[in-house]
Structure 1
């Protein structure tokens, strides 16, 4: 009876359009990434490092991304990042009309993930800040949700930082999923991608905390703007907010092109055999006299 009920539920409510399924997958995947990642930052900051440290944050984002890929990978590819989606469009691995759908889902998922973290730790936020939510100062909490630059970092330095970090992320993702390269064992791709985030975090996190993802940064930043931190989240640090949006988009495209030009383009292609055709004795004699025209008498077929 229960199995029949489940089957009826699927028949009635299961989505029929693939793009809607992909929208939900990208939304949920990004939600999971932000919930675990930003949640690890919140736990560390609000406990004043009693229940977390820098390594804890690296683990939170790494495992968060890994789980996001496991959840959404089989449906949408689990881009959970507009920079990754744009790179896939450039490489022809994602249809252009799907790009805005993916991006909207990613931003909404990140916004919802930030809201969930704030709701989960609302009492801790109020205790830590005495009810005053601020971006700067000794009890600042805006950086829990979005990235802000180190004092020494310039705008140009931030753009380069984000372009390089995101470029390496996309390049490594392409390598992990490249069936003509070593690749990752089937089912282990999410773990490998999570390890890439860990590597980036422990090597490139000093400047601004490696956001590498316009949705993961801008979505939570928008949430803080409307949840009590105010529009200072956009104006602080010389209007830094656009750097973790533009930098990853540039870096993702560059990383994808570098992998294609250096590796993927040079993979050995399968040979294309000639399809044999029956010919008259007269045609065979003519073929022997004109070897240069042989290819024109055969139809090329591509092996799948």
Structure 2
């Protein structure tokens, strides 16, 4: 048999098999038990830990990314201003505003679908006060945010360690020199009055909460969930551009306190806490808490109509009306019928 005959025979057999063979058919549809037979919610020991602390981890890493971008850009812009560090400046104030906005957007993308993406103790406290966020979660969220901010600042410090040495001097760390790379310090010329510095942080955080509640209000013009971080990017960038000059727009107690603790540990000393009569506690910590609560109440009192706000809790008259309506709608008992 020639090669052509062999090839023709093999090709014919292949065509017959392709045409005549029928695909196997299922004898029955798989049951739910069969489909989930090998599935387990906790495939290993770590999955139990992750499930229990997932919201904590989300707030931790989300806040860490805020600081990575935020403190990172401040270090790059300020340190590159010295020819000892870089031959030319690497950014301007607008770079700082944009990077802080990007940091918040990335942080919310990381955490928003898991924990809600608070990333800010002032936001957490305001939501617990006005929107019935569980109070038992408040300390957990705040601790995660503080630790995440501290770790983020530590990573930035390690990355720019040698640049800071070149800027200030090897091993030199001063509050007046580079402590402002990590935490906020009010401008001496424009913020000589303590009350003015306090109001600046209060105002910035109130604006933040009004904006946050507006862009998450489903009865307003809320974006689709995947685009929420973009709206927050615009909000944070706008606050930085409009209100960032005088106090550095902390508007987030964890954003300021976590890096401040890190700077004290890194050699800046107690001066980071004694600056202008304990400025750190009343301006970048207390003022944002107050501003957040006031901003949340302003939005809920005048604009929000949802039932999850304490402002919209039904009063005694509304509760009585609801009860009467429920009683009227309740069907009566059917009459008994005897079988004949």
Same fold (TM over 0.5): yes
Shift of 1:16: 5.9
- On the 8 A contact 1:149/1:237 being kept in 2, the answer is no
Alpha carbon RMSD of aligned pairs, Å? 2.1
Aligned to 1:141: 178
Aligned to 2:296: 256
Aligned to 1:271: none
Equivalent position to 2:194, from 132, 155, 158: 155
Deviation track 1:156-189 (CA, whole Å, cap 9, x = no partner) reads 1111111111011111111111111111133110
Distance 1:185 1:9 in 2: 29
Aligned to 1:167: 206
Total equivalences in the alignment? 266
Shift of 1:209: 1.0
Shift of 1:238: 2.7
Deviation track 1:193-243 (CA, whole Å, cap 9, x = no partner) reads 111001101110121110100000011001101110001011112321111
Q: After superposition, where does 1:20-31 map in structure 2 within 5 Å?
A: 20-31=53-64
Q: Secondary structure at the match of 1:187?
A: helix
Distance 1:54 1:80 in 2: 23
Query: Is 1:11–2:53 an aligned residue pair?
Result: no
Give the 3 Å change call, closer, same or farther, for CA 145–294 of structure 1 in structure 2.
Answer: closer
Distance 1:52 1:93 in 2: 42
Aligned to 2:329: 298
Q: After superposition, where does 1:1-304 map in structure 2 within 5 Å?
A: 11-12=43-44, 13-15=46-48, 20-48=53-81, 50-131=89-170, 132-136=172-176, 140-151=177-188, 152-153=190-191, 154-242=193-281, 243-265=283-305, 296-299=327-330
Shift of 1:82: 0.2
Give the 3 Å change call, closer, same or farther, for CA 88–15 of structure 1 in structure 2.
Answer: farther
Shift of 1:123: 1.1
- On the 8 A contact 1:149/1:208 being kept in 2, the answer is yes
Shift of 1:9: 11
Deviation track 1:260-289 (CA, whole Å, cap 9, x = no partner) reads 00111389xxxxxxxxxxxxxxxxxxxxxx
Give the 3 Å change call, closer, same or farther, for CA 237–180 of structure 1 in structure 2.
Answer: same
State TM-score, norm by structure 2.
0.74
Give the 3 Å change call, closer, same or farther, for CA 168–294 of structure 1 in structure 2.
Answer: closer
Give the 3 Å change call, closer, same or farther, for CA 178–232 of structure 1 in structure 2.
Answer: same
Deviation track 1:41-74 (CA, whole Å, cap 9, x = no partner) reads 0001111171111011111100000000000000
More displaced 10-residue stretch of structure 1: 85-94 or 240-249: 85-94
Shift of 1:93: 4.2
Give the 3 Å change call, closer, same or farther, for CA 294–240 of structure 1 in structure 2.
Answer: closer
Gaps of 5+ in 2: 1-38, 82-87, 308-323, 332-340
Deviation track 1:232-262 (CA, whole Å, cap 9, x = no partner) reads 0111123211110000000000111111001
